[in-house]
């Protein structure tokens, strides 16, 4: 859908009364080939790739609210692929490569900005871990470099590199192709493209249960009645465990609040993403000028989309330790999302013990960056009934086999 300048002007002065919605608002039909529960980025991307790559268009994406208002619309938009272990590096790099052409593919400006992601090291241990990770990334053909303090000073002039700090910065690693994107544009771009291929997007329709008959998923119970399905795919992030329990599938996941905040808009001052594990805070500057920041998840399991005050205070203290120049800046707002955390901090993507029931979850604090890759491999799995090579290591059965993919050192957020 393209708008001419004249149409834009007409809509601007006409109160947007003639603006066409970017996707339809259909009533749910009684049956679909595939029902996807969860209209976040991952669910919408899955629907798009099912229709686009596999020709499966009899698909509904059902969300309990408006699409994209879960973690997709609450996250701090860091995109990178600098994970240590081969399976994760391959999966996240596949996603990053898709990001690089996604605005063009969806004909939707995702404001994807490859401004680089810099992670700071404050201890010898952190430095050694980063050196090891950079080496592993290079072996996997993924861009990544160590930065000296001089290089860091030139790149981030306002960063406090004083030796007098509680924990002086010792060095850093950078992924130049990493960066940020506009979070809700990702949901909207996939929604519009999926809708155009015939996918029904059903909003404000909570799913209360998955219907299982003789060991096979046959549909879902929703606020708008039962919907039959040939296949059911659940992509519900922090709410996945309760939903999957209705089908008798127990997931090794705990749900925690993860909070973030933004400052008032400032003149351009930071043209990269800074991540910092020990003095714990990460920060980037949005195109509007706001600083977007966050840090640790809450330490207790909860569904309260607030986040606790001490995490907030510690995040701000860490930010000011890194950037004392910001001490008089005001915060604009704060919020939280509910993240789904697995024991090895890696996602679960694949079939379940219930036939025709698929799950994609466990992205925890780091799934935004993976959205295109996740949707791509999940669509393959649903379409073919078997995992793609990229998501085969991420099956639910890895927890029974002990084949964990421990990415705790590469997580952006402490756990």
243 binds, among ligand FAD, ligand PYC, none (CB under 5 to 8 A by kind): ligand FAD
Q: Which of 130, 193, 194, 413 binds ligand PYC (CB under 6 A)?
A: 413
* Site for ligand PYC contains 307 (CB under 6 A): no
For residue 104, give every residue at least 6 positions away whose Cβ sits within 8 Å of its Cβ, in sequence order, or none: none
Tell me which residues in 133-172 interact with ligand PYC (CB under 6 A). none
36 binds, among ligand FAD, ligand PYC, none (CB under 5 to 8 A by kind): none
Rounded Cα gap, residues 185 and 112, in angstroms: 10
- Rule CB under 6 A: which residues touch ligand FAD? 37-43, 62-65, 69-72, 74-78, 206-207, 235-237, 239, 243, 258-260, 294, 337, 339, 363, 365-369
- Report the residue closest to ligand FAD, judged by CB: 40
Distance of closest approach, residue 69 Cβ to ligand FAD, in angstroms: 6
DSSP 370: T
- Report the residue closest to ligand PYC, judged by CB: 412
**Do residues 211 and 227 lie in contact, with contact meaning Cβ atoms separated by under 8 Å?**
no
* Site for ligand PYC contains 365 (CB under 6 A): yes
User: From residue 240 to residue 279, what is the string marking binding to ligand PYC with x (rule CB under 6 A)?
Assistant: ----------------------------------------
Rounded Cα gap, residues 165 and 90, in angstroms: 37
Rounded Cα gap, residues 187 and 65, in angstroms: 13
Distance of closest approach, residue 89 Cβ to ligand PYC, in angstroms: 14
Name the one residue in this structure whose structure tokens are 């999926």: 194
- Nearer to ligand FAD by Cβ, of 84 and 258: the residue is 258
350 binds, among ligand FAD, ligand PYC, none (CB under 5 to 8 A by kind): none
Query: How is residue 409 written in tokens?
Result: 């050192």
Residue 34's SS3 state is strand
- Nearer to ligand PYC by Cβ, of 117 and 218: the residue is 117
For residue 385, give every residue at least 6 positions away whose Cβ sits within 8 Å of its Cβ, in sequence order, or none: 351
Rounded Cα gap, residues 58 and 198, in angstroms: 7
**Do residues 140 and 89 lie in contact, with contact meaning Cβ atoms separated by under 8 Å?**
yes
Rounded Cα gap, residues 185 and 202, in angstroms: 18
Rounded Cα gap, residues 339 and 304, in angstroms: 11
- Nearer to ligand PYC by Cβ, of 77 and 203: the residue is 77
* Site for ligand PYC contains 130 (CB under 6 A): no
390 binds, among ligand PYC, ligand FAD, none (CB under 5 to 8 A by kind): none
List, in sequence order, every beta strand (DSSP E) within 362-410.
Answer: none
**Do residues 350 and 381 lie in contact, with contact meaning Cβ atoms separated by under 8 Å?**
yes
- Nearer to ligand FAD by Cβ, of 130 and 235: the residue is 235
Number of amino acids touching ligand PYC (CB under 6 A): 9
* Site for ligand PYC contains 412 (CB under 6 A): yes
Sole window of 42-50, 76-84, 156-164, 376-384 interacting with ligand PYC (rule: CB under 6 A): 76-84
Sole window of 30-38, 75-83, 84-92, 100-108 interacting with ligand PYC (rule: CB under 6 A): 75-83
Residue 37's SS3 state is strand
347 binds, among ligand FAD, ligand PYC, none (CB under 5 to 8 A by kind): none
Residue 274's SS3 state is strand
- Nearer to ligand PYC by Cβ, of 201 and 260: the residue is 260
User: From residue 272 to residue 301, what is the string marking binding to ligand PYC with x (rule CB under 6 A)?
Assistant: ----------x-----------x-------
Name the one residue in this structure whose structure tokens are 């998955």: 210
Which one, of 342, 347, 352, lies nearest residue 381 by Cα?
A: 352
Rounded Cα gap, residues 49 and 244, in angstroms: 23
Rounded Cα gap, residues 281 and 310, in angstroms: 13
Q: Interface residues with ligand PYC (CB under 6 A)? A: 76, 78, 80, 282, 294, 365-366, 412-413
């Amino acid at each position: 859908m393209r708008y001419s300048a004249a149409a834009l002007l007409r809509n601007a002065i006409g109160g947007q009364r003639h603006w066409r919605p970017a996707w339809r608002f259909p009533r749910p039909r009684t049956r679909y080939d595939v029902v996807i529960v969860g209209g976040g980025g991952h669910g919408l991307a899955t629907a798009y790739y099912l229709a686009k790559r596999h020709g499966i268009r009899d698909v509904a994406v059902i969300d309990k609210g408006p699409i994209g208002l879960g973690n997709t619309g609450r996250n701090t938009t860091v995109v990178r692929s600098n994970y240590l272990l081969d399976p994760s590096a391959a999966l996240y790099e596949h996603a990053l490569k898709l990001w690089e052409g996604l605005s063009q593919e969806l004909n939707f400006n995702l404001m994807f900005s490859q401004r680089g992601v810099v992670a700071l090291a404050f201890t010898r241990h952190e430095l050694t871990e980063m050196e090891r990770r950079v080496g592993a990334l290079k072996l996997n053909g993924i861009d990544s470099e160590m930065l000296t303090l001089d290089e860091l000073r030139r790149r981030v002039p306002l960063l406090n590199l004083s030796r007098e700090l509680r924990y002086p910065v010792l060095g850093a690693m950078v992924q130049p192709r990493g960066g940020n994107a506009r979070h809700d544009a990702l949901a909207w771009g996939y929604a519009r493209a999926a809708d155009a291929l015939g996918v029904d997007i059903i909003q404000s329709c909570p799913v209360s249960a998955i219907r299982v008959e003789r060991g096979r998923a046959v549909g879902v119970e929703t606020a708008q009645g039962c919907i039959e399905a040939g296949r059911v795919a659940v992509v519900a992030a922090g709410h996945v465990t309760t939903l999957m329990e209705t089908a008798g599938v127990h997931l090794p996941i705990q749900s925690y609040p993860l909070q973030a905040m933004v400052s008032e808009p400032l003149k351009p001052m930071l043209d990269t993403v800074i991540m910092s594990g020990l003095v714990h805070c990460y920060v980037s500057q949005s195109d509007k000028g706001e600083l977007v920041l966050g840090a640790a998840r809450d330490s207790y399991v909860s569904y309260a989309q607030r986040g606790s005050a001490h995490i907030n205070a510690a995040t701000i203290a860490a930010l000011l330790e890194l950037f004392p120049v910001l001490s008089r800046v005001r915060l604009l707002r704060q919020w939280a999302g509910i993240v789904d955390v697995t024991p090895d901090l890696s996602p679960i993507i694949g079939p379940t013990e219930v036939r025709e029931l698929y799950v994609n979850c466990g992205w925890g604090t780091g799934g935004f960056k993976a959205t295109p890759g996740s949707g791509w491999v999940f669509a393959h799995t649903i379409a073919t009934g078997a995992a793609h090579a990229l998501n085969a290591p991420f099956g639910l059965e890895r927890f029974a086999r002990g084949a964990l993919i421990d990415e705790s050192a590469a997580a952006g957020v402490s756990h």
